[in-house]
Amino acid sequence: MEYEISLATAVGISVLFALSLNLITGFCGQISLGHAAFFGIGAYTCALLAKAGVPFFATLPAAMALPALFGLVVGLASLRVRADFLAITTMGIGFLFVGVVRQQDALGGEMGISAIPDSGLSKLAFMLLTVALCVLTALLSQYIRRSWMGQVFNAIAEDEDTTRVMGIDVPRFKLAAFAIGTALAGLAGALYASNLKFISPDSFGFVESMTVLSMVVIGGIGSVPGVTVAAIVLALLPSMFTFVGEYKLLVYGGLLFLMMRFSPDGVTGALRRLMARRRA
């Protein structure tokens, strides 16, 4: 039973992480290939504060605020670059984060940070907290998607220039998307650090950024239910098939290629088309 609880916690963290990227890439159309950096900032913030004696629940706001601050910086960069150039910029931020952490002894360097203090919750309580945060994030995502803010995000994703001509403050909404998405990524990182009690730079590299991007693309960019299901399935794959863990980038890259080739709008879009054909 303990293994199942630990697995459910890890899956919940993956879902929360995927939903955070969906807010940026899925809703607002801003490509991010370095999202794991914000996940890592949240994890390191939680770990350092916990080691300093700060209670677990008090570390969570800081683990969200600091990534959100860095997210605003990236958002400012997104105001000047788009599409491929934005993807390259965010990828560079991911590499920069890992490089800085590896060079700083105060952050554990190559060895990472170990013996992170316990959250004070039982494994079951921590799992229930993670699931509750996933549900709240999913509900928040759905609310944003259906709100006026979500409509603006969708307009920016479809045609940024036309949206600007209509008099909408595009920079403001792009910054909001990055701030919210990176804050949620930081929250997922804090749960990750507290759950494992050990973090290292390798946990927040390019592979993790591609993993979470795969969850968003395969589930259906912008679809909250689709991304949630895809995150659950892809997070469970390494525990179900050993070779997936050894060749994660190859497997997920192959899935991404197949999805973009045969169903660019993900599994959600494929199911929608299938249902339309059945009704016809």
What SS3 string covers 129-167?
HHHHHHHHHHHHHHHHHHCHHHHHHHHHHHCHHHHHHCC
Greatest mean pLDDT among 81-95, 134-148, 217-231: 134-148
pLDDT at 108 over 90: no
Tokens describing residue 106: 């105060």
CA distance 95 to 156: 27
Cα distances from 125 to residues 17, 119, 131, 222, in angstroms, run 20, 10, 10, 30
pLDDT tens, residue by residue, 166-185? 888 888 888 899 999 999 99
Q: Which fold has domain 2-279?
A: ABC transporter involved in vitamin B12 uptake, BtuC (1.10.3470)
Helix (H, G, I), strand (E, B) or coil at 87: helix
Place of tokens 């910054």: 175
pLDDT at 81 over 80: no
The secondary structure of 90-122 as a DSSP string is HHHHHHHHHHHHHH-GGGTGGG-B--PPP-SS-
Band (9; pLDDT cuts 50, 70, 90): very high
Please answer whether residues 189 and 237 qualify as being in contact, where contact means their C-beta atoms are separated by less than 8 angstroms: no
- pTM of the complete model: 0.91
Q: Which residue has the higher pLDDT, 112 or 134?
A: 134
**Phi/psi at 199 (nearest 5 deg)?**
-140, 150
> Cβ contacts of residue 110 below 8 Å, gap of 6+?
102, 200, 201
What is the reported pLDDT for 245? 62
pLDDT tens, residue by residue, 140-171? 999 999 998 989 999 988 888 888 888 888 88
CA distance 140 to 135: 9
Band (93; pLDDT cuts 50, 70, 90): confident
pLDDT at 276 over 80: no
Tokens describing residue 230: 């895809």
pLDDT tens, residue by residue, 242-260? 666 667 777 777 877 777 7
Band (76; pLDDT cuts 50, 70, 90): confident
CA distance 210 to 248: 10
The domain ranges of the chain are 2-279
CA distance 12 to 235: 9
Q: Which residue has the higher pLDDT, 80 or 132?
A: 132
In this structure, of 13-22, 191-200, 265-274, the range with the lowest mean pLDDT score is 265-274
